[in-house]
């Protein structure tokens, strides 16, 4: 694949790509961060806005975590037992002003380890810790750092940082939103699947006629320019609502659906349609499992059935960067629920 194409500098393809820093910290194997804890890892602790521990399910079909809805939870109803996770807030005084508070999500095993550390250290609030991801199986090491360079935050600094945290983040509200979004996506998916089942037989006999689209990606890109500026502002204020990645867990197979081949500048995987900006020319906004946003343009020779591919639908797609650095969709179809084999809960009544 790479053979036919000359090597060239990897360029920044979009504004989204440029503003890498996000609210959620993510670690790959062997990576670590050192920051000041803005929480106690204790669900019973009062007045602990930097900590939110909750129940969650791994939705194999959508390949993401969905907060448990308790009594109304469709996953629990399908006998999938939830695990616990915790979102924690951290302070990085050396970062730029708007990048000083970050969130990190821990899995069950690591919550236990945090709790242990807290017991040994007589609390973690304000202390500087080093969190290191050891492998791809969700194992982390946790160390409280000591020495002159690693002093805990003073009471005064801690107070102002906590005030900023409370002003900017509502950890519970963020999970609440994720839950609502996931439930909505499931409703859409369910409706689609039902329709799909009914259609299936007919489709085998004769190919359903589909509307043909022609896309002019480059022209479309300039047209959209103004629009994009406006969106950017929105993005910034919405940033705190971004979905946390399922980083701190056994997530080996979560990555396999999505691959970026840097040499070829191609992108493949499952994306959620967050917006169809223009059906005529085929301009889409997608969100991947990590909450990253992508804007893509439909290639002229790809056809899309807009009855199937709608806002909120998960699609399997391939895209290629063009000379302008825009993502051009070369293949797109509704993501098949291929993972609903073993323990994926059934969404039908």
Point out which residues bind Zn ion (CB under 5 A).
68, 73, 75-76, 82
CB of 71 to Zn ion, least distance (A): 9
Nearest CA-CA partner of 124 in 115, 133, 137:
115
CB of 318 to Zn ion, least distance (A): 34
Between residues 85 and 295, which has the closer beta carbon with respect to Zn ion? 85
Nearest CA-CA partner of 88 in 33, 139, 134:
33
CB of 156 to Zn ion, least distance (A): 42
3-state SS class at 278: strand
Q: Whole-angstrom Cα distance, residue 338 to residue 324?
A: 34
3-state SS class at 59: strand
Angle at 7 between CA 322 and CA 320, to 5 degrees: 25
By the 10 Å C-beta count (0-12 exposed, 13-18 middle, 19+ buried), 74 is classed as buried
Helix (H) or strand (E) holding 273: strand 266-278
Please name the residue ranges forming H helices in the chain.
15-18, 74-77, 108-121, 155-168, 171-205, 217-238
Between residues 32 and 81, which has the closer beta carbon with respect to Zn ion? 81
Between residues 76 and 313, which has the closer beta carbon with respect to Zn ion? 76
CB of 81 to Zn ion, least distance (A): 8
- Please name every residue paired with 133 in a beta bridge, in sequence order, or none if there are none: 140
Between residues 77 and 276, which has the closer beta carbon with respect to Zn ion? 77
Do 244 and 66 touch, CB atoms closer than 8 A? no
CB of 77 to Zn ion, least distance (A): 8
Between residues 37 and 68, which has the closer beta carbon with respect to Zn ion? 68
Between residues 73 and 304, which has the closer beta carbon with respect to Zn ion? 73
CB of 65 to Zn ion, least distance (A): 11
């Amino acid at each position: 694949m790479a053979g036919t194409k000359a090597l060239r500098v990897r360029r920044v393809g979009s504004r989204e790509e440029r503003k890498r820093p996000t609210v959620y910290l993510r670690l790959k194997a062997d990576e670590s961060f050192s920051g000041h804890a803005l929480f106690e890892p204790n669900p019973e602790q009062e007045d602990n806005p930097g900590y939110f521990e909750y129940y969650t399910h791994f939705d194999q079909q959508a390949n993401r975590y969905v907060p448990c809805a308790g009594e109304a939870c469709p996953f629990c109803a399908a006998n999938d037992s939830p695990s616990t996770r915790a979102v924690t807030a951290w302070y990085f005084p050396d970062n730029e002003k708007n990048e000083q508070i970050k969130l990190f999500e821990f899995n069950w095993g690591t919550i236990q380890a945090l709790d242990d550390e807290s017991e040994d250290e007589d609390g973690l609030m304000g202390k500087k810790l080093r969190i290191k991801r050891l492998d791809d199986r969700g194992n982390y090491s946790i160390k409280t750092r000591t020495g002159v360079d690693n002093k805990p935050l003073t009471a005064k600094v801690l107070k102002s940082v906590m005030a900023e945290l409370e002003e900017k983040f509502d950890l519970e509200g963020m999970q609440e939103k994720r839950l609502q979004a996931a439930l909505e996506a499931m409703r859409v998916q369910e409706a689609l699947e039902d329709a799909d089942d009914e259609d299936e037989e007919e489709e085998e006999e004769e190919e359903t006629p589909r509307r043909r689209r022609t896309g002019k990606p480059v022209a479309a890109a300039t047209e959209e320019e103004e629009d994009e500026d406006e969106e950017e502002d929105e993005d910034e204020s919405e940033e705190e609502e971004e979905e946390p990645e399922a980083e701190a867990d056994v997530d080996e197979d979560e990555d396999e659906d999505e691959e970026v081949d840097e040499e070829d500048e191609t992108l493949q995987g499952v994306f959620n349609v967050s917006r169809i900006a223009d059906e005529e020319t085929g301009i889409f906004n997608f969100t991947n499992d990590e909450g990253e946003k992508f804007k893509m343009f439909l290639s002229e020779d790809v056809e899309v059935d807009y009855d199937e591919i709608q806002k909120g639908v998960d699609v399997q797609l391939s895209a290629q960067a063009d000379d302008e650095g825009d993502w051009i969709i070369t293949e797109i179809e509704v993501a098949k629920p291929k993972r609903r084999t073993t323990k994926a809960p059934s969404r039908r009544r």
